[in-house]
Structure 1
């Protein structure tokens, strides 16, 4: 890992980007924090103004960059598949033109041979489009990332805060493998400039496979000292579920619908080869929840 590498972080003001940028600066990297509003940026690194949805702004942002993190997606956009595809293609092309030697991308878990949700299908497409112009892409695929500020954690936090009981659809029994934000950042930093990581896809997750119901119960017990009563119903469509979420949380309907569409797909780690490159035991779910609560309590 070459600490003299010049690194660009897209989405530097986002959930993962904020923590990643700080970690990279702490490691001694020269970091550019890409944001649409550089004049208002007050985080670590050097702000640079650009927007992946405006290709003409990208050449200056990627000029002189060795490694670029691509942490952009559009959950709150009704036409996110088309929007994200165009942005990924433009960014990959600009990176290739600038001589970037590695793009690192956060994708979503889920078997390629399964019927993926539109959200997960879009993540897969972005993986390939980023490298279409020739820059090697390192992909880290994750399920739910547990940490203060993330939309999935915020959904969990608000549900256990606002509701003593929930009526939920059968997708709460779907198995997933949540991963702590601290581990995600550790893996992202760990694959920078690693020859063994170039052009490869890795799966990352915590040590436990849990259902969404189990995750809610653990969060409720740690936040409130009690379990939440859950009643499953056989029919509650993703559309109705998204309206219900918008009613009891401040998650908007479009974001909620795109999240719920992905919750019917089992997303668990089947390949632990990331640990060969970035050693270390992942953080248990309960500890990840405790860390999130310490920053953003119920």
Structure 2
């Protein structure tokens, strides 16, 4: 199968490219920096920018399935850009007769009072859904792995703050997933025709909170942290607090942390594990592996 990965140089994209290539697929790796990146021998490189229509001419030609992994968090107008890019990709994929598209989105709990980041993910889902192809949406919370911006925030906090005065939403329930499991699910849906047109949640076997995830990460590094939640620090205010506590680019960290007010756990009715069963990795193991690889 000839498969296009849009966003192939990102944290998920690089690993997905390797996994699909190893599985014997013909892989096309697309991004703005594709030619400056290292891919396995045999992977076709397509460098272009969805913001520049001329640079993406022919992107979807002869493509059977595509993974859409674009998220423009570094820009102030990321929602506008993501909308534009998704529409442009939808047009290209529909015109070329792409059969399937898989989009990696975000879990957002009860769908109310969404952060700008999660609202933008939902909008992109709607844009892609209107294409002339079968769309599969996988929604994930924090993806744990070396190179994950969300996990790096957690890692940095446990390095720098032995005592943390943090927002009360640090106790919001979340269901992270290790990067290996996320890739396994992304690959697995290709062979599951019943996932065409479906929306699924992916996560580890157990529910955590950001507080328990911070403590686990500290323990894995041989540290202890004291966490004191306070009610007065809003997500917007706490995003500014991140400037002092993490090296993650602020433009990325702010929308991610503003999303932490939303419970992000797997809905049993949308759990992909029931359709594409994999040997799931525990959060404890995912954290250990991420720290070892970091």
Q: Counterpart of 1:199 in 2: which secondary structure?
A: coil
Asked if the contact 2:102/2:137 (under 8 Å) is kept, the reply is yes
Q: Counterpart of 1:48 in 2: which secondary structure?
A: strand
- Which ranges in structure 2 are unaligned for 5 or more consecutive residues? none
Asked if the contact 2:5/2:28 (under 8 Å) is kept, the reply is yes
State the shift of 1:57 in Å: 2.6
Asked if the contact 2:9/2:34 (under 8 Å) is kept, the reply is no
Identify if the C-alpha distance between structure 1 residues 112 and 266 changes in structure 2 by more than 3 Å, giving closer, same or farther.
Answer: closer
Matches of 2:66 and 2:52 in 1, distance apart? 17
State the shift of 1:112 in Å: 5.3
How many pairs align? 291
Q: Deviations over 1:228-277 (max 9, x none)?
A: 11122211122331222111211233322201211001111113542243
State the shift of 1:197 in Å: 1.1
Matches of 1:38 and 1:136 in 2, distance apart? 26
2:3 match: 7
Aligned positions of 1:1-298 closer than 5 A = 5-44=1-40, 45-111=43-109, 113-192=111-190, 194-223=192-221, 225-271=222-268, 273-296=271-294
Q: Deviations over 1:114-172 (max 9, x none)?
A: 22111111101101101323211100001110011010111111111122111101010
Runs of 4+ with >4 A deviation: none
Matches of 1:162 and 1:113 in 2, distance apart? 33
- Which ranges in structure 1 are unaligned for 5 or more consecutive residues? none
| TM-score of the aligned structures, taking structure 1 as reference length | 0.93
Instruction: Tell me the C-alpha RMSD between the 2 structures.
Output: 1.4
Q: Deviations over 1:86-120 (max 9, x none)?
A: 11011011001011000100011124542211111
